Structure 1
Amino acid sequence: MTFLRQTVGGLPRVFWMLFSVMLVNRLGAFGLLLLPTYLTSARGATLAVAGLVTGVYGAGGAVGTLLGGVLADRWGRKPTYLAGLSTASVLMLAMGLARPLWLIAVLAGGIGLAHSLPGPATVAAIVDVLPEADRSRAFNLQFWAFNMGGAIAASVAGLIAEASFTALFFIDGAMTAATALAVWRLIPETLRRPAAAPAVGGSDRGFRSSDAVGAHVSTADSDHLPQRAGLGTVLRDRVFLTFVGLTFVLALLTVQGQSILQLAMEGDGLRPAAYGAVVSLGGAMIVVGQLFVPRLIRGRRHATVLAGAFALLAVGYSAVALAGPLWTYLAAASVWTIGQMLAAPPNASIIAELAPARLRGRYQGVFFLVFPAAGFVAPTVGGWSLQQLGSWHWVGCGLLGMLAAAGHLVAARTRERRTDHIRVIESAAASGAPEPAVA
């Protein structure tokens, strides 16, 4: 009982609504899970073309992520969420009917955009309703729900694909529409519009207290933030962008298991159901073990945990170079899954700490950009790399993971100073006390 209270106790009703909606959506999110296999086996595409078309999905997601971050701050969290789900459901049905490769590529880009719109809004909503002390375990639960739904979806996807890829897309579209209905009926808007604050004297006339928080985000480039701070402010924040770059490596490695891995398994004569088993194993491990991760990493520096997580990812993906039978793929997947489990809570906590409240949606949008960007780069380059380099492709993935592990240790101190300063500024702004000088 103590474990349950520490893991799930005290979280608000809005969070559990978001949790439930995400779980339902992920249970049906299998339409594009087997897109590379669909393109090669049903549409006759080469490995390189399959990687390129899959990459278009990631490119659309990159646009959708940035747009989602801006809209989450302007429209609100709920309208942005609804726009993404509604659009994705329609386009997924169209994908089930499409036959020319060029049309499949166009639809993949549109679906990528629509799928990525809700991401920044969802995380921003969680941060909106939770105090900092509860965010790590909330993000851990979010990661658990995401992967539990994904594990079930992957196992179902392999079986449905054996019978009909068209059914795969149609069922996904229907589940996405059902999720949109649930969001419309159950999820309240969490964005609080700030009241106008009185202007202060001097050359900073017209600035609000929250502007000082945003001004700090680019200590090397700017001493002041315009009254209408926007995406440019985020893109000038060097400490934040360093963290985003390291997360991009995490996303690149993760996408290997979602796209290029199935091509390697197909080359070893394994069927789509075998790939579904590998994905399901990772999801099952997360379902069983993820709730214990916060206790395991409690009291440890975020950077230390992330460095260890990246080392495990590196070992797991390098091991694919030696894989052949299904059990060897399952063994490699178990190693990189532990790395993903360890990385999820500190990664989400760091982005919440680095994002000033008034620009929360935009920060989340830029942060989430790494996942669709990786969704474009990893299959586009990875399909060519696997075709040209064979098993050495996976060795390169391992080296990249080890470099990123070292990068987290090097960047840790600067990142921790930034989060401490933002915490002090926002605390002063909330209490009405004079704000500390921007460093």
Structure 2
Amino acid sequence: MSAARFGQAARESVAGLPRAFWWLWTSTLVNRLGAFVATFMTLYLTLERGYSASFAGLVVALHGLGGVVSSLVAGVMTDRLGRRPTLLAAQASTAFSVALLGFMEHPAAIAAVALLVGVTSNASRPAVAAMMADIVRPEDRVRAFALNYWAINLGFAVSATAAGVIAEYSYLAGFLGEAALTLACAVLVFVKLPESRPERPTSGSDAAGEEPAIGLGTVLRDGRFMGVVGLSFLISLIFTQGSVGLPVAMGAAGFSPGDYGLVVAVNGVLIVLLQIPVTSFIERRDPQKLLVISALLAGYGFALTAFAGPVWAYALTVCVWTLAEIVNSPTQMGLVVRLSPVHGRGRYQGVYNLSWAVASLVAPLMAGLLIDRYGADWLWAATGVLGTVAAAGYWLLMRGLSEGDAGVAVVAGSPGTEATEAESGSVAEVAGEAQGDAKPAAAAGVA
């Protein structure tokens, strides 16, 4: 892609979005600039505190367990109480719990507060995604989610490098820094973002009469949507090893926190640099092929870590699975956005984020067990198997669709008609829309 074409694509990506979106985007960027706990928890426990990989895996798993609980609870809160109150409560409590974690010394206290951090830090995700869908026009939502994902990774690229340096001098400074920036996000939300939850219709229409039935049971019975959630879990289980298995393996190989910070920062830098041109390349490709190929790249990208020696070799493996992330996340999120009814967005986003939360619970246990008992190479082999299974799952999910159906795009309608489209449209229609509707969206829950 030429520089001129890249510049044009960049200008088209940011044009026409409402001011409220940019404040939400800014809060996402600030929040990710302070990311420390999720990235360096395993190194903090194994190198700074001297605990085993199994204990580190248990603590990070408890952090993930907190996310499992809060994904569902926060999803319901987002629909019932509103987006803004949920965001404020989540960010303020996260700032407190992260700061508290930095002062914990007893193993049981560390585990308990890590669970609390998991509950609070994941509670904002359904609200952010729902608010973004509320304030952005249907035809611009794909683009808005992609820009939010870009902010997540821009912040991560900076914070991973900076936090690696900070960790070599003081882990406590990292905890307090994340707490301060998270509190700044809460202030920003309070000052700049109004409530965006759509008002429920007061007429006696059939649609209005059916809305109270949208609950967690409705989401769980939505077979098409839950298929996406299940495959997202497998992919999340792989990607989570970038912050769980990779730091432990590099630490055991004699690398410093700074080395790991530089290696994992490659992920964020590449997404910042490549998200726009790669999106332009894939947006009209067959989503089935994109999902299958990205799953294989993710699994075998991590599997290549078994053969890495010097730091640059680890960085090369990150390049492979980062490409998978760039392709998979927007294509998959295109399905999720259109499958969510207007007045059930919080619950649908909560269940979707559950796939990442459960992966955050399972991945550390898997990594700790395999590394302690069999060695890191077995962990990387397992990621290859998971990638293969996920690729087969994506292929089966869309195998029954005709070529014509797979390319049909659902025309974005008004918010009032979106629930009908989401509930009656086929996976093929949804996937077709993810291809042709401007820029594919990326998962706001990767954060």
Q: Does 1:151 align with 2:157?
A: yes
CA RMSD between the two structures = 2.7
The residue number in structure 2 matching 1:360 is 345
Q: How many residues align?
A: 416
Answer yes or no: is the 8 Å Cα contact 1:311–1:401 preserved in 2: yes
The residue number in structure 1 matching 2:442 is none
Q: Of 207, 213, 233, which residue of structure 1 is paired with 2:218?
A: 233
The residue number in structure 2 matching 1:411 is 397
Q: Of 8, 15, 32, which residue of structure 2 is paired with 1:2?
A: 8
- The 5 A counterparts of 1:35-434 are 35-198=41-204, 207-209=206-208, 211=210, 227-390=212-375, 391-412=377-398, 430=417
Residue ranges of structure 2 left out of the alignment (5+ in a row): 1-6, 427-447
Answer yes or no: is the 8 Å Cα contact 2:99–2:179 preserved in 1: yes
> Partners in 2 of 1:106 and 1:338 — Cα distance?
36
Answer yes or no: is the 8 Å Cα contact 1:14–1:129 preserved in 2: yes
> Partners in 2 of 1:238 and 1:422 — Cα distance?
21
Aligned-pair identity (%): 36
Residue deviations 1:59-115, cap 9 Å, x none?
Answer: 001111111111110111111111110001011111111100111111111111111
The residue number in structure 1 matching 2:429 is none
What letter is aligned with 2:32?
Answer: R
Please give the secondary structure, in 2, of the residue aligned with 1:262: helix
What letter is aligned with 1:348?
Answer: M
Please give the secondary structure, in 1, of the residue aligned with 2:37: coil
> Partners in 2 of 1:242 and 1:210 — Cα distance?
28
The residue number in structure 2 matching 1:15 is 21
| Distance apart, 1:400 and its partner CA | 0.8
Q: Which structure has the bigger radius of gyration?
A: 1
> Partners in 1 of 2:424 and 2:90 — Cα distance?
40
What letter is aligned with 1:293?
Answer: V
Q: Which runs of 4+ in 1 moved over 3 A?
A: 413-431, 436-439
> Partners in 2 of 1:339 and 1:25 — Cα distance?
24
> Partners in 1 of 2:63 and 2:217 — Cα distance?
25
Distance 1:41 1:2, change over 3 A: closer
Distance 1:429 1:275, change over 3 A: closer
Answer yes or no: is the 8 Å Cα contact 2:138–2:413 preserved in 1: no
> Partners in 2 of 1:397 and 1:438 — Cα distance?
33
Answer yes or no: is the 8 Å Cα contact 1:230–1:359 preserved in 2: yes
Answer yes or no: is the 8 Å Cα contact 1:32–1:169 preserved in 2: no
| Distance apart, 1:429 and its partner CA | 5.9
> Partners in 2 of 1:425 and 1:131 — Cα distance?
9
Please give the secondary structure, in 1, of the residue aligned with 2:243: helix
| Distance apart, 1:304 and its partner CA | 2.2
Residue ranges of structure 1 left out of the alignment (5+ in a row): 200-206, 215-226
> Partners in 2 of 1:2 and 1:84 — Cα distance?
37
Answer yes or no: is the 8 Å Cα contact 1:209–1:429 preserved in 2: no
